[in-house]
Each structure stands twice: as structure tokens, then as C-alpha cells.
Amino acid sequence: MIAKIEAAIRRYKLLDGVNEVTVALSGGADSVSLLFALNMLKNKYGFSLYAAHFHHGIRGKEADRDLAFCEELCRKLSVALFSEKGNVPLYSKEKGISLETGARELRYDFLNRVSKGVIATAHTASDNAETILFNLSRGSSATGIRGIPPKRCNIIRPLIFCGRTDVENFLRKNGLQFVTDSTNLTDDCSRNIIRHKVIPVLKEINSSLEDNCSKLSVCLGEDNDFICSIAEKEYLKRYDETGLDIRSFNILHPAVAKRVIIRYYNYIIKQAPDFYHIEKIYDICLKGFGTTSAQTELFATINRQRLIFTEGLEVPDLTFKVEIKNLNRDEFKALSLDKNIPKGKINKLFLKSAVDCDKIIGNPRMIKKNSGDTLKLANSNCTKTLKKLITEKKIPLEQRKNIPVFADDEGIVWVYGVGCADRVKIDDKTNRIILFDISIGEK
């Protein structure tokens, strides 16, 4: 196990320039083995070793036992111990967060207050495998699937290459005792289910699961670091106090462009965005206009070729330039032939923007939509309000105010992004066609 710890120290430069290391000591098998191993290595790497134990105020006498155990262990090893008791249930209730989140926040607040150097946590390769599977099951990017970072800010994880078997063998070899948190033995949370039920099944398929997950973490970590370094340079070129410049955004590789957005999102909103919001924001950046939700009561919008975040909905006015093209059947077919289909069928996007000229009653004209407008879409069995159709077709918010609507003497015949009325749709007998060609821009 010592060899694996030193491999992690070298690969991730965990102790470069480090004079003091404080081990987050729970008293469990992993943290006890970490403290003992670093105590063996402290002279070789030239750092002072400390331990810190946080009493969460959750498990009553069992938690008191853990604290007493940590005090005795540190006394035997001649390692100074910092300890503190918190009230996680009260803190979590006041903050409106889960016990797990409250415990983590109070624990790291304590660790950062007592540590003068780096904080060593006892996350292992087994924990990393569980994290990868957990993130994968709930949906994650490559950053999440890479698992637990071996180093982040002042946090280091020397056991990241060591599996649970390594820890158990190390404890047995050195005659070390430890305490067990009873909550880790139940299946009342997702991580424990993965640990007790999923991991054993996967290890039946390949006993090297944990090592392979570690290799995956290394590979994804290196790839992610490289892409992020490119994205950071791009971000610094594009960001200033007025927002994020999205000009020529479409020439960036999506992997870089999305990380630029994530970097900006993190800086402005101070938290990581989810996949859904990044995709929506990326989409309006590519279009060069638009507004989309960034989170509750916060919106991302494009304003004068810059991405900005605003509180409340600020939708820019869009202008629609409409060109009406009168075509015969052969001209329409030549224009709308889908080159991606071997048999050369008509592109459905063109059908959605065209009507049969001879079925129009009177002259087609652009009108302003109102709340009473209704439309029976082509090939539809029912008539719906225009408002409902616009919602169903997911027309972007910024387009709805001035959306082009055309009507004849009998009612609406065509709506941008929605389609044409069933009574004016193109069929096999159509000879003359009206094609609506729309371009969009900001005022």
C-alpha cells in the first residue's frame, strides 16, 4: 500500500512544497491506515503531521466512542489532534439542507480552520469506483465520471490508488484497530447500495474493477485537464465585465465551447451548471440570439453578441425578415430536395414553410397574433389555440413576441416554426406554391 501511496504522491505532486499535512481522521479503517502510513512517510518527505476529528453530533454514544478512539490513537502515534463537536441536525434544519450536506459543510469548515497546510482525506480507489458508478447512474459529464480528484485546492487524497483490500491488508499487517460507523452498514442510501450490491456483482465480472476505474480516472483526468487548458485560454480572450463574447462561437469544438460556458457560469453564479442548462445556453450561443433559463429566476441571454446572466426575464426584441417566394412545383422540388436521402424526398422543413397558393382565399398577409387565434395544423385531427401550439413546438421565448403569422380571408394559413393550416397544405395536385423564407436578427 505504501508503494501505491507514493505513486499517487509522485503522479499528482501531492506533497510538492508541503510542510504540514492534517489528516481528516474519522477513526474508520481508511483514515486510520492513512494516518499510520503518512506517519511512516513524514520524515522521508519532510512534513509535519497532524490529525483532525469532527464530531457531527448525530450518532450519540457511537460518535463519542469514535472521538475517544481517535484521541487514543493519536496519543500512541505522538500526533497532535484537533477536535471539535458540531450540531449537524440543527445546522441542516436551519439551512434547509440534507444531513449529509450539512455534515460535509461543517466538517470542511472545521478542517480548513485548523489546517495550516494541506488536508489529507482517506478517499480510496474503492470510493472512487463507487463515485464513478454513482455519477454515471444519475447522469454526468466526463468531469463527473472521472471520479474523485486526487488533488483539489488544499485537499489531497494519497489513498486514491489503494483499494479496500489494500487497506485491510495494511491494517492487518500493522496490527491496527479501527472503529466502524454503523450507518455505513445499511442500504438506506444510494452509495451504500452501490457499495454492497452493485460493486460485488461487477467484481464477479472483473476482479480488477477498482484498478480499472483508477485507470479511467487518470485517462479522463488528463484529457479533461488538456481540454480545460484550451478552454481557459479561450475564456480569457472572450470575457470582460460586459459579458462573454460569443462571436465565431460556432468555430470552437463543442467540448471547448461548453467548457468556456461552464467556466463563465461558475464565475458568475458560483456553482456548477447541469447538463440541461449548458446545452440550452450553448444552443443560443450558436444561434447568436435568444434567452433561456440558467437556473431558478436566473436567465442566460444573448445581448449584442455577448452572453450575459440576468435576474428576471429580459428578452431582447427580435426582428423577422420575411421573403415570400412564388414557385411552381418543379422549382419547389428542386429547391427542397433532401440531398441526405437517397430517393430524394422533399425536406420536411420546406413542407413546414410552404402552402398551396391556389388554396389561399384572398391575399396572404402578415397579422399580429392574439389570444383568440386558433389553427388546425396540416395532418392534424384537431384545432388548437395558437398559444398552445407555440408552447408545444417549443418556440423560444424571444421569438414569441414578434413571431410571423400569415392569414388569408378565412384565417391563419401559416405560423413561423409551427407550420401551415391543414386546408392550405401541399398535396399531389399542387401546382403553385408559396414558400415563406425567414431570417432573424436583433433590433
- So what's the pLDDT on residue 405? 92
- How far apart CA 102 and CA 92 sit, in angstroms, is 5
- Which domains, from first to last, does the chain contain? 2-206 (3.40.50.620), 241-311 (no CATH), 318-442 (3.50.40.10)
Tell me the per-residue pLDDT of 64-90, one tens digit each, with 9 for 90 and over. 999 999 999 999 999 999 999 989 888
Pairing of strands 20-24, 298-302: unpaired
> What percent of the chain has pLDDT above 70?
91
Average pLDDT, the chain: 87
Q: Is the pLDDT of residue 344 over 50?
A: no
The edge-to-edge listing of strands for the beta sheet with 118-120 is 80-85, 48-55, 20-24, 118-120, 155-156, 151-152
> What percent of the chain has pLDDT above 90?
49
Tell me the per-residue pLDDT of 176-229, one tens digit each, with 9 for 90 and over. 999 987 665 455 567 788 888 899 999 999 988 988 998 898 898 889 899 999
Q: Is the pLDDT of residue 251 over 60?
A: yes
- So what's the pLDDT on residue 40? 96
Alpha helix ranges (H) inside 244-362: 254-269, 275-287, 329-336, 348-352
The edge-to-edge listing of strands for the beta sheet with 432-442 is 318-328, 432-442, 354-356
- So what's the pLDDT on residue 296? 62
Q: Is the pLDDT of residue 341 over 50?
A: no
Residue 337's pLDDT band, with cuts at 50, 70 and 90, is low
